[in-house]
Structure 1
Amino acid sequence: MKIITIWMETNSGDNPLQQFATKRWFWLSLFGFSLFSIISLIGARLLGDPDTLWHIAAGKWILANQAVPRADPFSFSFHGAKWVPHEWLAEVSLGASHAWLGWAGPVVVTALAASVTLTVLLRFLLRYIEPLHACMGTVLTSLTLVQHLLARPHTLAWPLMVIWAAHLVLAREQGKRPSLWLLVVMLAWANLHGSFMLGIGLAGALAAEAVLTEGHPWQSAKVWAPFLALTVLAGLLTPNGLDGLLFPFHVSGMSYSLSIISEWQPPDFRSFQPIELWLAFVLFGALYFGFRLPATRIVMCFGMVHLALTSVRYAELPGLLAPLLLMPSVGPQLRAAIRPEIKPKVPPWSLLIITTACIVLITASIVVLARGVSHDQSPVQPRAAIRAAMAAGISGPVFNSYNFGGYLIFSGIAPMIDGRADLYGDDFVRRYMAAYSGDATVLESLFREYKIRWALLEPTSPALKVISGLPGWRKVHEDDDAVAYVLKQ
């Protein structure tokens, strides 16, 4: 906050706004509220993923039944199969917010999580580098979040990820055991999203770093080992128990499902990828300023970059965690490398303009949220096609597109498949995709086995050609988003 301090020294007065301008919390608050407002104003963009719909439905089921399901209550193909949602706490948050505020509810929850995440990161960076550089770093991080900024459980876990990593790094810097209150963070994280395993792994990596580099390995091990044991115990305190710890390994073993789900695909560098820009800035800074970094932190960052290049699902990890890991070393070197001789002066009216602009932005977001967020025309919500099928008097099992499963669950209709690939498993997903891709033998086999009475698919599905040629099937609806076929009674 040196710029504001300089301005204050040259513009004396008793203006309360000028007094606030010297407070770091004032600028962090403006940043956080402004960011919340910007994200809220693009609310419909946060709701575009079909999985958001079944997460909301699962949260409402938990609230209505006052229990976490132990078996699948939604699909007909796997109804009653073992399914314990590992993201139940996030789903309750999304479900409750939707019940209270409509579509504005999940938008508020998501915008709040993202703004808190970046504000906490900015606060950490300000410990080591100048405000301008800290803001640039935070903006660069925000770019890595854009593709995955959705009203889904992983976003709600971001603040805990940053808080966890930041305080582990601070503990290492101070040569102390991490505070035990972090165990509460791990407990909440473990019930919000499966990425908590990354937090356990990060704690283990920093513990190993302490043992290897502090010069008294036995003492370091005695300091960190109890914390690591309690961290694992906190991770076990979920409805899934040990299965929660094993869940990431179960998913990583589903090679076929991961190969067809877009968010598990590697980034396609034939089009712009935010991680590419992030890597370019980091490499330029490292090469231009010649930063020297601890080998252990370089290895940790390489691991996160590897994950980000393996799957777009992990694109945010380098942006969120690398600054936390590297800044204790990079910060002092950056301060030494950049020493401006001329201190910039801020015009006396600029503070008022900045504050006013933030207030206007916040007010605009409140008005927009109060009026409600529209989410009725989403391509993952085939409302018209479902109405047409219902008007045709159809009922019973449906052969649906993967992307329509979330909306079917949200609407109280049991789908054949939805975004819970971990429930269905590789074998079923492979068989379903063969039918969806137009394999007539597999399609007819599924129809007989599950007594399919109607179909709800995207217009581009190859299965439509097969269904149109089956005896007794007729088309009842077609638009740009969905086609519905029913079996004549």
Structure 2
Amino acid sequence: MKANITSIGATGTDTLLQQCARQQWFWPALYGLSVFSLISFAGARLLVDADTFWHIAAGKWMLANLAVPSTDPFSFSFHGAKWVPHEWLAEVILAASHAWLGWAGPVLVTALATAITLTVLLRFLLRYIEPLHGFSGTLLAFLTLAQHLVARPHAMAWPLMVIWTAQLVMARQQNRRPSLWLLLVMLAWANLHGSFLLGIGLAAALAAEAVLTERQPLQSAKAWTPFLAGTVVAGLLTPHGVDGLLFPFHVSGMSYTLSVIGEWKAPDFRLVQPVELWLGFVLFGALYFGFRLPAMRIVMCFGLVHLALTAARYAELLGLLAPLLLMPSVGPQLRAAIRPEIKLRLSAPLLRIVTALCLALFMVSIILLAKGIEHDHRRIQPREAVSAAMAAGGGGPVFNSYNFGGYLIFSGIPPLIDGRADLYGDDFVRRYMAAYSGDASVLQAMFDRYQIRWAVLEPGSPAAKWLDGLPAWRKVHQDDVAVAYVRAR
């Protein structure tokens, strides 16, 4: 009797799972749980970026003051200068999560945002292609964003970026105006990250496509114009207004700064790059299957390719957005070209195992996050050096390495410079880099102007060697992370 009940129970569970697997939400949900779990397991890896420190510090300042700053409250070199914290909402979220869960908080937020992003992407792709090919597409997308997968505001903008683009593409496919609720997505996006300007550009491009390709262009223009106007208005509804809208243009005009900051440099193709793998896979598929694509979508994807080749940080835009733009055309052609026997088919027992494994991974990841995560990346947090300098009488204006600025802000110490290059501007960054590179005249001028009293630098840096030769300065600490100097009183 017991054996029969067990058999019936297992059969019933298998039937239910098979019914769920035929629903378009099942595979994306299972995939999202897996992505969340795997990223959570890599928790501390998401904390390798020095900018995470000052983002959290900025969010804590806003929570404490219940305001968004319009001038710099952190550095001593630009204290009181105009500052546009265009990622203010994301910084508040990071700060609140850190206050609640410690370093597990920012990891949780980033893992959740990434999982939602890829879940929405897969859900969209499954409208047009088989699960096996949908998984392949999302895996390629993950590769393009993996190198920029850190606990910073841009990761929180990814879900909104994908939702926005997917809804616009579906509106075009159905020959209708996008739903007005999307304006709320733009409103949130504009307050989370400066990439919202890309969303406005995509809406304008798809509106132009509607006008140029529909049989009644005037009606298409009338349908899309109010939505475009609402999109711009939503983009302006931030604490910064027009300054927030112009911010991306301000950053793109900082030619020198963009040339020296790693994530803004073009990909180095002497090493295998994720964007190279993505382009190779897509080009192979396009040439092998002979896909035909709408002209405007090709132009839009060329724009994304240009961005990805201009700066390494833009690779994720290509990986996330190009599938959304192309799949309505590629999907039917791919379905027709692929043989049925290579489509994904799982037996009931295997489906049960996969589901149980994904749920188990998710539960383990939650337990790990609840236990807490240690921030053990010493290269960006010179704790011992700063403590030694303070104990030796350090204090006041400091000359610091660029990558140490975030930690100093997080520790309540005003830095000379930090990751907010948009605040400091091209001229100051150029002078700082000349000084840090050992230009004695620029170093002396900067020390005199800002009355530098102590320094915390990366070991072996030219600026540190310059300080070694000055009798008025003494070295108070050195390890593999940082070297600290204090000026004699």
Relative to the length of structure 1, the TM-score reads 0.96
1:391 aligns with: 391
Instruction: Report the more deviating stretch, 332-341 or 68-77.
Output: 332-341
2:235 aligns with: 235
1:204 aligns with: 204
Give the Cα–Cα distance (whole angstroms) in 1 for the partners of residues 209 and 301 of structure 2.
14
1:69-218 counterparts in 2 under 5 A? 69-218=69-218
Identify if the C-alpha distance between structure 1 residues 483 and 173 changes in structure 2 by more than 3 Å, giving closer, same or farther: same
Quick check: 1:252 aligned with 2:256? no
For the residue of structure 2 that corresponds to 1:379, the secondary structure is: helix
Give the Cα–Cα distance (whole angstroms) in 2 for the partners of residues 341 and 103 of structure 1.
47
Identify if the C-alpha distance between structure 1 residues 436 and 21 changes in structure 2 by more than 3 Å, giving closer, same or farther: same
Quick check: 1:288 aligned with 2:301? no
Letter of the 1:126 counterpart:
L
1:318 aligns with: 318
Give the Cα–Cα distance (whole angstroms) in 2 for the partners of residues 226 and 38 of structure 1.
42
Shift of 1:23: 3.3
1:443-482 counterparts in 2 under 5 A? 443-482=443-482
Identify if the C-alpha distance between structure 1 residues 459 and 261 changes in structure 2 by more than 3 Å, giving closer, same or farther: same
The answer to whether the 8 Å contact 2:84/2:243 transfers is no
Shift of 1:216: 1.7
Identify if the C-alpha distance between structure 1 residues 342 and 168 changes in structure 2 by more than 3 Å, giving closer, same or farther: closer
Letter of the 1:350 counterpart:
L
Instruction: Report the more deviating stretch, 352-361 or 147-156.
Output: 352-361
Instruction: Report the more deviating stretch, 26-35 or 221-230.
Output: 26-35
1:4 aligns with: none
Quick check: 1:376 aligned with 2:383? no
Q: Percent identity?
A: 74
For the residue of structure 2 that corresponds to 1:148, the secondary structure is: coil
Shift of 1:14: 6.0
1:367 aligns with: 367
Relative to the length of structure 2, the TM-score reads 0.96
2:7 aligns with: none
Shift of 1:12: 6.5
Quick check: 1:57 aligned with 2:67? no
For the residue of structure 1 that corresponds to 2:128, the secondary structure is: coil
Report the number of matched residues: 479
2:357 aligns with: 357
Identify if the C-alpha distance between structure 1 residues 223 and 377 changes in structure 2 by more than 3 Å, giving closer, same or farther: closer
The answer to whether the 8 Å contact 1:382/1:482 transfers is yes
1:7 aligns with: none
1:271-282 counterparts in 2 under 5 A? 271-282=271-282
2:5 aligns with: none
The answer to whether the 8 Å contact 1:87/1:193 transfers is yes
Letter of the 1:99 counterpart:
A
Shift of 1:13: 4.4
Shift of 1:135: 0.8
RMSD: 1.4
1:408 aligns with: 408
The answer to whether the 8 Å contact 1:455/1:485 transfers is yes
Identify if the C-alpha distance between structure 1 residues 373 and 332 changes in structure 2 by more than 3 Å, giving closer, same or farther: same
Shift of 1:245: 1.1
Shift of 1:22: 3.6
Shift of 1:28: 2.2
Task: Encode CA deviations 1:43-64: one digit per residue, 9 max, x unaligned.
Answer: 1111100011100000000000
Give the Cα–Cα distance (whole angstroms) in 2 for the partners of residues 485 and 347 of structure 1.
66
1:316-355 counterparts in 2 under 5 A? 316-341=316-341, 346-355=346-355
Shift of 1:21: 3.6
The answer to whether the 8 Å contact 2:132/2:344 transfers is no
Task: Encode CA deviations 1:187-238: one digit per residue, 9 max, x unaligned.
Answer: 0000000000000000000011111111222111111111101100000001
The answer to whether the 8 Å contact 1:388/1:477 transfers is yes
For the residue of structure 2 that corresponds to 1:477, the secondary structure is: strand
Identify if the C-alpha distance between structure 1 residues 342 and 296 changes in structure 2 by more than 3 Å, giving closer, same or farther: closer
1:270 aligns with: 270
Give the Cα–Cα distance (whole angstroms) in 2 for the partners of residues 29 and 174 of structure 1.
25
For the residue of structure 2 that corresponds to 1:481, the secondary structure is: coil
Identify if the C-alpha distance between structure 1 residues 431 and 220 changes in structure 2 by more than 3 Å, giving closer, same or farther: same
Letter of the 2:457 counterpart:
L
The answer to whether the 8 Å contact 1:437/1:461 transfers is yes
Shift of 1:437: 0.3
